[in-house]
Chain A
Amino acid sequence: MKVGADNRWQRGLETLAAWLLAIVWAAPLLYCAWTSLHHPGDVARMDLSAPLTVHNYAYVFNAAPFPRYFLNTFILVTMVIVAQFTLSTLAGYAFARFRFPGRNVMFVLVLLQLMIMPDVLIVENYRTLNTMGLTDTILAIAMPYFGSAFGIFLMRQTFKSVPKELDDAARIEGAGTLRTLVSVYVPLAKPVYLAYGLVSVSYHWNNFLWPLIVTNSVTARPLTVGLQIFSSGDQGIAWPILTAATLLSAGPLLVAFLLFQRQFVQSFLRAGIR
């Protein structure tokens, strides 16, 4: 009896803690949303009773061809994800299950990429893509990211925890290497793909400097570059405009997470890896 009551107390406290933390965590974003719905003068005076306005969103939306930028961003992240998934799956499988000469050295090299800052390589990579005649294309933004150490590392760890017996069984049934990979390993790694996909999408959705440098045209540029016109420079930061632009660009991702979070978490649950 007493244990049950204690338990309920504890549960209640934990719920409270979860919510308090959630409110603290959400506060900056809520503040951001509030700012985006007000006139700059009202924001600066933090006038809670000030009238709401959607003017900032309209302004942002009309300042550039955003449907086009959304489309470009969408193509970009799709391209990156497909390439990264494919290459990381193949390489991850190699490192998890195959012995080949130079494997350990290669793996350390792959890990090194985690530590190389893409920003430092901009000038050289621009030169390479320029030689290939690919600058000012969506492909040029995506290509340097196709090989992903993070992805290879993640897939290797995941595949290593797949029981070898499953692999053996598939092979005994006559499946080749790729068939085994696709029919045994890939389904078991679904949650990892989801998590990795999410991380990768949010990185490329938000990447800015490289796309700005390697592209020139509206037809190739992603959302982030389009939104940069709202940052400051010779004049002060227009907070309402800037926050509206931020939410407008991150909006689709936030909505997607809210909509798919059930599937997202459930697939974590379904993970066959124990």
Chain B
Amino acid sequence: MKAMLKTMAIASIACATTLAALPAAAVEISFYYPIAVSGPLTKIIDAMAADFEKANPDIKVKPIYSGNYGETLAKALTANKSGSPPQVAVLVASDTLTLIDEDAVAPMDQFVKTPADKAWLDGFFPAFMMNGRYLGKTYGVPFQRSTQVMYWNKDEFKAAGLDPDKPPQNWDQLVEYGKKLTKQDASGKVTQWGLIVPSGVTSHWFLQGFTTQNQAKLTNEAGTEAYLHTPAAIEALSFWTDLARKHKIMQEGIIDTGNAPNEFIGGRAAIMFHSTGNLTNVKNNAKFPFGVAMLPERKQRGSATGGGNIYIFKKSSPEQLEASFKFVKWMTSAPQAARWGIATGYVAGRQDAWDTPEMKQYQKDFPPASVALQQLPFCAPEFETHAGPRTTKALEDAIAASLTGTKTPDKALADAQAEANRILRSYK
């Protein structure tokens, strides 16, 4: 039966190629992209692809919406295993090693030939390049990136007797302000928390805010080692745990990442740590004046980068690979990066995008948009090792165990370290 199927397939492919070849010798590439923020984004992507085709009549781009990040990865790798991957895809930046280990993606370096190409590759912010680089090569370049920032409710600051324009600057102030901002009713029940830090999906990323401020480094460059059970990391997790369990300025237990902004918008928490991906959401839906600032510092400022890179899949024809590179370069060029950043609220990945007149206007109209840019020098790359999703799970389990009180931060991270060592032993 297999043979028959194959004949059928070959016949249909032959048919399709002759048909496609007749009108023009255009190279076709498919482009998988996830949608993780609201807005009519499929239309914007379609428009960008159409504009690219207009500038490059010999290339046809087929944009394919493919769910959220996880689903896009599932779709792309499933197709890749059948030998028919997309040519270009937007995937989580910290999935780079997964994609390399699956032998799915091609390094950008192999396409970079002219000085202009080189200038393009060097134009991205270094903080956004760390996840996409491996052993000196660049596999993914920034497309829709984000970092963690602090949102605060100015009305509540006023009500608590705090200066509404001065958010907490360090960990001590965070606790101090948080206590003032936590409100209880007559029966002692909390009606508003001082602070909300999500601990559901991507809790490891939120931990990275605290660890980076405490100068704890969680992995080595090669992604073959994880450093989870270090004094600085333990101190960071202890601090996060204490916010709820000792200082009582945050809800106990796990806080759903997707729902957290609703609690902030609904006035149930006065300060929120969350992704810059929420800027537009909070701007449109909060019925109170709010501010956006860098996360409070400990030994230094600190946050982590997140969001999606754009990748080229290697199992394609040489013509497709060249066309894909052209497309990637175009999509991440200054005007397009600015266009996408303004439409979505993501942080544009290169300085020249921020220098465009549109972007300058956008910053003037909405100053919080530039906070991410100021914080960028203090950002760590998102936690990533080989078998990354597994080590990430070990770390997230440790965070959950600590936050819910089933283990001490020390014990939780010791267990996570042991688990990470076990997972990574075959990559040494």
Task: Report whether over half of chain A's contact residues are helix, strand or loop; otherwise say mixed.
Answer: helix
Question: A212 and B258: CB pair below 8 A?
Answer: no
Question: What B residues does A62 contact at CB under 8 A?
Answer: 40
Whether, in the assembled complex, A45 has its beta carbon less than 8 Å from a beta carbon of chain B, the answer is yes
Question: What B residues does A43 contact at CB under 8 A?
Answer: 262, 266
- Inter-chain CA distance A132–B6, complex, in Å, is 7
Report how many residues on chain B are interfacial, defined by Cβ distance under 8 Å: 58
Q: Given the known A-B contacts A127-B81, A130-B84, are A236 and B281 also in contact in the complex, defined by CB atoms under 8 Å?
A: yes
Question: Which of A87-95, A178-186, A226-234 lies at the binding interface?
Answer: A226-234
Whether, in the assembled complex, A239 has its beta carbon less than 8 Å from a beta carbon of chain B, the answer is yes
Instruction: Select A126's contact among B13, B38, B41, B79, beta carbons within 8 Å.
Output: B79
Question: B38 and A213: CB pair below 8 A?
Answer: no
Question: B9 and A213: CB pair below 8 A?
Answer: no
Question: B275 and A234: CB pair below 8 A?
Answer: yes
Whether, in the assembled complex, B388 has its beta carbon less than 8 Å from a beta carbon of chain A, the answer is no
Instruction: Select A131's contact among B9, B62, B281, beta carbons within 8 Å.
Output: B9
Question: What B residues does A209 contact at CB under 8 A?
Answer: 71, 74
Whether, in the assembled complex, A110 has its beta carbon less than 8 Å from a beta carbon of chain B, the answer is no
- Which residues of B (3-56) have their CB < 8 Å from a CB of A? 5-6, 8-9, 12-13, 30, 34-38, 40-42
Whether, in the assembled complex, A39 has its beta carbon less than 8 Å from a beta carbon of chain B, the answer is yes
Question: A122 and B265: CB pair below 8 A?
Answer: no
As a 0/1 sequence over residues 198 to 214 of chain B, the CB contacts with chain A under 8 angstroms (1 = contact) are 00000000000000000
Q: Given the known A-B contacts A225-B67, A228-B71, A236-B281, are A213 and B78 also in contact in the complex, defined by CB atoms under 8 Å?
A: yes
- Inter-chain CA distance A44–B260, complex, in Å, is 11
- Which residues of A (100-141) have their CB < 8 Å from a CB of B? 122-123, 126-128, 130-133, 135
Distance from B278 Cβ to chain A, minimum over Cβ atoms (Å)? 5
Distance from A248 Cβ to chain B, minimum over Cβ atoms (Å)? 16
Question: B66 and A126: CB pair below 8 A?
Answer: no
As a 0/1 sequence over residues 201 to 228 of chain A, the CB contacts with chain B under 8 angstroms (1 = contact) are 0000000010011001100000001001
Question: A126 and B82: CB pair below 8 A?
Answer: yes
Question: What B residues does A235 contact at CB under 8 A?
Answer: 36-38, 261, 275, 277-278, 280-281, 345
Question: What B residues does A228 contact at CB under 8 A?
Answer: 67-68, 71
Q: Given the known A-B contacts A131-B6, A230-B38, are A238 and B281 also in contact in the complex, defined by CB atoms under 8 Å?
A: yes
Question: A39 and B67: CB pair below 8 A?
Answer: no
Whether, in the assembled complex, B167 has its beta carbon less than 8 Å from a beta carbon of chain A, the answer is no
Question: What A residues does B281 contact at CB under 8 A?
Answer: 235-236, 238
Whether, in the assembled complex, A241 has its beta carbon less than 8 Å from a beta carbon of chain B, the answer is yes
Question: What A residues does B40 contact at CB under 8 A?
Answer: 62-63
- Inter-chain CA distance A229–B30, complex, in Å, is 19
Question: B67 and A216: CB pair below 8 A?
Answer: no
Question: What B residues does A28 contact at CB under 8 A?
Answer: none
Closest to B346 in A: A234
Instruction: Select B65's contact among A45, A133, A229, A230, beta carbons within 8 Å.
Output: A229
Whether, in the assembled complex, A41 has its beta carbon less than 8 Å from a beta carbon of chain B, the answer is yes
Q: Given the known A-B contacts A64-B42, A229-B41, A234-B307, are A44 and B265 also in contact in the complex, defined by CB atoms under 8 Å?
A: yes
- Inter-chain CA distance A123–B74, complex, in Å, is 9
Question: What A residues does B301 contact at CB under 8 A?
Answer: none
Distance from B205 Cβ to chain A, minimum over Cβ atoms (Å)? 11
The 9 closest A-B pairs by CB, nearest first: A44-B266, A233-B36, A236-B261, A234-B277, A232-B258, A133-B12, A234-B36, A237-B258, A40-B285
Can you add 7 more A-B contacts, CB < 8 Å, to A131-B6, A234-B146? A44-B263, A130-B83, A229-B41, A229-B65, A235-B37, A236-B274, A238-B281
Q: Which A residues form the contact surface with B (CB < 8 A)?
A: 39-41, 43-45, 62-64, 122-123, 126-128, 130-133, 135, 209, 212-213, 216-217, 225, 228-239, 241
